[in-house]
Amino acid sequence: MLLMYSCSPDKDNDMITEPELISPDQYNSEVVVRWFNLIKVLTTETTGYTPPVAARAFGYTGVALYESVQVGTTNKLSLSGKLNGLNLETTFMEGLEYHWPTVANTTIASMTKFFYSNASLTNYSSILELESEFNNQFTNDIDDDVIKRSIAFANGLTDEILLWSTTDGGHGAQFNNFPVEYEPLPGAEFWKPTAPNQRALQPYWGNNRPFISLNIENSIPVDPPAYSTDVNSTYYIRALEVYDVVNNVTPEQTVIAEFWSDDPQTSATPPGHSISILNQLIDDKELDLLASSEAFAKLAVGINDSFISCWKVKYTTNYPRPVSVINNQIDASWETILETPPFPEYTSGHSVQSGALARILTSLFGDNYTFIDRTHENRTDIDGTPRVYSSFYDMAEEAAVSRLYGGIHFKEAIELGLDQGYQIGENVINMFDN
């Protein structure tokens, strides 16, 4: 619906022109930063938000945010028709004014209320309060019809994206993280629970629909070294390496292991750590609304697909954890520094998602970008002292090797997991650029 201009019949030949429209890149990113800071808290404190579940919630929220604001500029392209199964039909009326912070606020609020419907009463109230705070702030300065149009557009778009999300295989996963019907494969060469009454976490997650098919098709690494009881085998040598590293771990390596552990219910999980890093960079660099929305969409797609790709490998190889082979073949009393997670070893989820994070952030902020990670600075249960990195790859490598220091991953899961993540990140970048 376009506002046309016409010539005035009077002698001055006055013209009625269409209003000057403000694009999303002319607004700051306050809405984005504050919402994702709240989402970090919700992820930490809401029951059922394991790493795959958190990655999925971030994924759809990031896509919805980007789609809701990219229509306000001619410089960006929609992901509709690019992401698997996404075919948007929501009407955007060109030539009419929209208030993009209101669009973003409504979008993220709708997505958050949907994904965190089981949040505590206090935390759900925080969602409603933040939405209202921004709405009240904006209505003081923006015409009522613009606000209504912006909210209506955002609601229509999020309705479509939420419906799309329910068809990917992960809908309601926070209520069923440990399917009771799944039984680990028999045989010492396959993963078994490493603690009493432990069950497999999301064993079918690798069957979920990824955002980008290529993130499954060209990211899967080679199989890990074959299980063997031979003391000269690669498998045994890798187990001995983990055993020696943990037995001789330094105080600094322990700090690194705990800094990157990001266990559910004590942190926003590894995906939340990635979101935290990007949010800090957006705030530090004072990115505008459009740039921050695009950055979150890229990371959201990459992190979501990282966990699908990684979990597909995990439950295809069903590789046992270091503690299993070490207790059985090397030292029955040996213990890990970190608690061993309830799913197969290969590849490392930390490595895959950190690799995707590094590749995507490097494309956004450049090589050799020095930054400080303040994610855990307010925690008292670990040494959360902010850590400094000389590049995003430096950060990813530390996050990956932290799992060796913690005693829960072998070398191949760490190194090939990083490569898996780098490839996923590259696929995301290419998809946005083409």
SS (H, E, C) 246-292: HHCCCHHHHHHHHHCCCCECCECHHHHHHHHHHHHHHHHHCCEHHHH
If you compute the radius of gyration of the chain from its CA atoms, what whole number of angstroms results?
Answer: 24
With a CB cutoff of 8 Å and minimum separation 6, the contacts of 410 are 224, 238, 239, 241, 242, 322, 345, 346, 404
Res 18: pLDDT: 54
Rounded CA-CA distance 340/81 in Å is 40
In order of start, what are the domains of the chain with their CATH numbers? 24-165 (1.20.144.10), 180-433 (1.10.606.20)
Residue 323, CA distances (Å) to 196, 335, 352 in order = 14, 7, 21
Nearest to 329 by CA among 242, 230, 246: 230
**Element of type H or E holding 168:** none
User: How does pLDDT run across 124-150, given as a tens digit for each residue?
Assistant: 999 999 999 999 999 988 999 999 999
Q: Which two tokens stand for residue 43?
A: 């992820």
Q: What is the pLDDT of residue 17?
A: 47
CA dihedral 21, 59, 429, 25 (to 10 degrees): 20
Q: What is the mean pLDDT of the chain?
A: 94
Name the token pair of 377. 């600075």
For residues 352 and 260, is the Cβ–Cβ distance under 8 A?
Answer: no
Q: How many residues does the chain have?
A: 434
Residue 315 vs residues 114, 209, 303: alpha-carbon distances, Å: 29, 16, 18
CA–CA distance, 42 with 49 (Å, rounded to integer): 9
Backbone angles phi, psi at 389, to 5 degrees: -130, 145
Report the DSSP beta bridge partners of residue 288: 28
Helix H or strand E segment including 373 = strand 371-373
Q: What is the pLDDT of residues 260-281, one digit of tens each?
A: 999 999 999 999 999 999 999 9
User: What are the distances in angstroms from CA 413 to CA 180, 184, 403, 416?
Assistant: 27, 20, 10, 6
Task: Give the per-residue pLDDT at 19.
Answer: 62
Q: Considering only CA atoms, which of 342, 340, 347 is closest in space to residue 312?
A: 347
Give CA–CA dist 245/232, Å, rounded. Answer: 19
Residue 225: name the closest of 236, 235, 215 by CA: 235
Q: What percent of the chain has pLDDT over 70?
A: 96
CA contacts within 13 A on the Cβ side of 356 = 37
| Spatial CB neighbours of 188, under 8 Å, sequence gap ≥ 6 | 227, 320, 328
* b/e 100-130 (16+ beta carbons within 10 angstroms → b): bbbbbbbbbbbbbbbbbeebeeebbebbeeb
d(CA 217, CA 1): 42
Task: Give the pLDDT of residue 74.
Answer: 87
Can you give the pLDDT at residue 219?
A: 97
Q: 3-class SS at 371?
A: strand
pLDDT at 14: 46
Looking up tokens 């990031």, which residue turns up?
A: 62
Spans in the chain with pLDDT lower than 50: 1-17
Residue 12's pLDDT is what? Answer: 45
